[in-house]
Amino acid sequence: MAMFDSLKDTLNKGVAAVSVKSETLVESSRIKSTISNAQKRMIGEMNELGAKFYNSWKAGQASVEAFSAEFASIQSIEQEIAELNARLEQIKAEEDKILGAAPKPSAPAAGSVFCSNCGKALPAGSRFCDGCGSPVT
């Protein structure tokens, strides 16, 4: 029964890790598409600003001040993208933390027992030495 419980526990933890992974995947891809939209908006506004600026230069009226609203707008999109990227990093870190905390198949600690024949350090619970083949006593 204990063995079954432990197996069930392991499976549950596996399922939890998978669900964490898929939840963060959904959020990550949502953020990535928001970033991509913001980038398109930013490129669009930059193109528009470039054209307006060029035309005003051509008309002999080029002035940075005249376009301060456009500059501010582009800068706010840039800021938005930076925040979204930071959020992505955060999700990645949280995911690593959660998945890193999930139990890994535990290898027996090496060096817990020593072969009485050759003295090799062996994983605890070893029945035979993997160095000389002697039974571990």
User: For binding to Zn ion (CB under 5 A), which residues are involved?
Assistant: 115, 117-118, 120, 129, 131-132, 134
The radius of gyration of the chain from alpha carbons, rounded to an integer in Å, stands at: 30
Question: Could you tell me the smallest distance in angstroms from the CB atom of residue 126 to Zn ion?
Answer: 10
Closer CB to Zn ion, 73 or 117, in the complex: 117
Q: How far apart are CA 81 and CA 90, in angstroms?
A: 14
Nearer to Zn ion among residue 66 and residue 121 (C-beta): 121
Q: With contact defined as beta carbons under 8 Å apart, do 89 and 78 qualify?
A: no
Helix (H) or strand (E) holding 122: strand 121-122
Q: How many CB atoms lie within 10 A of CB 32?
A: 13
Check if the beta carbon of residue 81 is closer than 8 Å to that of residue 35.
yes
Is the CB of 10 or the CB of 116 nearer to Zn ion? 116
Q: How far is the CB of 135 from Zn ion (least distance, A)?
A: 10
- Shortest Å, Cβ 121 to Zn ion: 10
Q: Which is nearer to Zn ion, 44 or 133 (by Cβ)?
A: 133
